[in-house]
């Protein structure tokens, strides 16, 4: 059966989570002075780990983008208000990162240690400790493990239940390590409903372009285990707030009820044909691009439109923001 290898779906979707967290918690240059959440606590910065960086320039006037830590032009103020350690193609499974030539989670954690050393030298131990312990850390990956690694490399060793067990155990290990270097407010993003993005409908959905059941069932199984792991970690570390952020059911609800949110098209993107183009293949030369993407859930065959991003953000975090405190 033909498989479609695709890029970092979950973190492109989790873009919406990151945007709202930044919008709610980090306000310009005076982020330490903001009072939010229970007990009027403030959040100085946002950090992202996983398989992709935030990919648009819109963060509600706070930062043009959550910059990659490896940006050689990064200024101190950018460091102090948050960076991304994520690497496109990374996975919980180290083999996923290796095959993609991406930084593994272990590598990303090493970069966090390097970052912490830099800010201690720049702003002193006390302020650095506040940044480390009070910031929000977003962990977002897993789709590439299922879509890109399982069938060609792991299927002979694992069935899907045992492979998702492996992924969940590796997620647990990483979250423990993140806690070990000072993180106390951690948002863990679920795997999305990856079988229903337009590209997967095209490749595996048959003539009617239905959702791909294989990816969706794998995502559901992994998400159940991930949620269980976050509950265990909260018991193990009572001074931490490890928050499960459900992208899967949120996006699924919007796809199943498009008219409720003034969408008309759910199975293809606005760009080009909408069934296979994505990222760089969507550009000013793309023909047949729609004139009004507000009717579409997806901009291209992978990524939601701006309207959908904002909607999903609101739905995911409506009842979750205070869980970080």
Q: Which among 93, 144, 293, 300 is annotated as catalytic?
A: 300
Length of the chain, in residues: 325
Catalytic residue among 97, 144, 145, 303: 303
* 322 neighbors 257 (Cβ within 8 angstroms): no
Residues 6+ apart with CB under 8 A from 304: 12, 13, 16, 251, 297, 298, 312
Angle at 265 between CA 259 and CA 268, to 5 degrees: 150
Residue 52 appears among annotated catalytic residues: yes
Query: Catalytic residue among 14, 52, 104, 199, which?
Result: 52
CB 135 within 8 A of CB 25: no
The question of whether 106 is a catalytic residue gets the answer no
Told to judge if 228 belongs to the known catalytic residues of this protein, a careful annotator would answer no
The residues carrying an active-site annotation are: 52, 300, 303
């Amino acid at each position: 059966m033909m498989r479609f290898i695709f890029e970092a779906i979950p973190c492109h979707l989790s873009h919406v989570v990151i945007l709202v967290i930044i919008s709610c918690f980090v306000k310009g240059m005076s982020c330490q002075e903001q009072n939010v959440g229970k007990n009027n606590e403030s959040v100085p910065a946002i950090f992202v780990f996983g398989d992709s960086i935030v990919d648009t320039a819109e963060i509600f006037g706070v930062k043009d983008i959550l910059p990659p830590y490896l940006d050689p032009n990064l200024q101190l103020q950018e460091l102090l208000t948050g960076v991304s350690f994520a690497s496109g193609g990374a996975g919980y499974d180290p083999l996923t990162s290796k095959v993609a030539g991406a930084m593994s989670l272990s590598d990303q954690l090493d970069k966090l240690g390097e970052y912490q050393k830099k800010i201690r030298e720049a702003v002193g131990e006390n302020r650095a400790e506040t940044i480390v312990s009070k910031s929000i850390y977003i962990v977002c990956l897993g789709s590439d493990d299922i879509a890109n690694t399982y069938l060609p490399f792991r299927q002979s060793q694992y069935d899907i239940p045992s492979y998702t067990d492996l992924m969940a155990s590796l997620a647990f290990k990483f979250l423990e390590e993140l806690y070990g270097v000072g993180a106390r407010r951690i948002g863990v993003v679920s795997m999305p409903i990856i079988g229903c993005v337009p590209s997967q409908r095209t490749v595996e959905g048959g003539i009617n372009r239905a959702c791909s059941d294989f990816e969706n069932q794998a995502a559901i199984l992994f998400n159940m285990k991930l949620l269980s792991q976050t509950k265990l970690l909260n018991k193990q570390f009572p001074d931490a707030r490890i928050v499960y952020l459900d992208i899967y059911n949120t996006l699924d609800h919007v796809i199943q009820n498009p008219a409720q949110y003034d969408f008309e098209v759910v199975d293809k993107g606005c760009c080009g044909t909408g069934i296979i183009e994505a990222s760089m293949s969507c550009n000013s030369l793309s023909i047949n691009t729609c004139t009004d993407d507000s009717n579409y859930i997806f901009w291209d065959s992978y990524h939601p439109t701006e309207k959908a991003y904002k909607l999903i953000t609101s739905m995911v975090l409506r009842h979750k923001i205070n869980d970080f405190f």
